[in-house]
Amino acid sequence: MAHSHLLVQHLLKQLEHHAATRDERDPRPAWLAEFVERAAEHFVPFSGIGRVGCECEAHDDGWEARLYLGLTEMVGGKDDGQAHGPGFELHVSGLLACFTAVNDLRWNVASSRGDGGGSFLTVHGLVEEHPVCVKAYSRAPAHVGPALRVFHDGRVQPVE
């Protein structure tokens, strides 16, 4: 027990290293990361909790941010291993208010066949002076794993 502070120091150093390497892996500029955080607040699950996922990509004419509510995987019980996309409401006026200016707004309705991200809302606009296109999808893309795990005892764990 006398050396337990060494363990705590070691864990803190690991945490600092993890945070630093995560920041190095995130190619998004700070203004875009802040915008995505604000935009994500406007996804409201119908029940329970949800975690917004985001994929950002730089283009010649600005950034594209693809947002969606991630899947929830059940752990334990009769539904063990099943993943489902939660129903949600997107507060569109709140999303639009995250922009400095909105140039275009479109609703894209996808076919029920196929494994794409479903229907999505597209917003083109400016964040500060930066051109941004946001696509808010009705479901998570097929290549993305679960965002949350809900255990049979009610615990919820984010998936990294």
Phi, then psi, of 121 in degrees rounded to 5: -100, 135
Which pTM does this prediction carry?
A: 0.74
- Spell out the residues 6+ positions from residue 33 whose beta carbon is closer than 8 angstroms to its own: 26
Mean pLDDT for 83-108 is 94
Which strand ranges, in their side-by-side order, compose the sheet holding 83-84? Answer: 83-84, 72-75, 148-151, 156-158
Task: Judge whether residue 3 has pLDDT over 70.
Answer: no
Phi, then psi, of 112 in degrees rounded to 5: -75, -15
145 strand-pairing partners: none
- Model pLDDT for residues 20-56, shown as the tens digit of each residue: 544 556 789 999 999 999 999 999 988 778 889 999 9
DSSP-assigned states of every residue in 107-149 = EEPPPSSSSS--SEEEEEEEETTEEEEEEEESS--TT---SEE
Comparing 35-44, 66-75, 101-110, 111-120, the range with the smallest average pLDDT is 111-120
Domain ranges in the chain are 28-158
Task: Judge whether residue 107 has pLDDT over 90.
Answer: yes
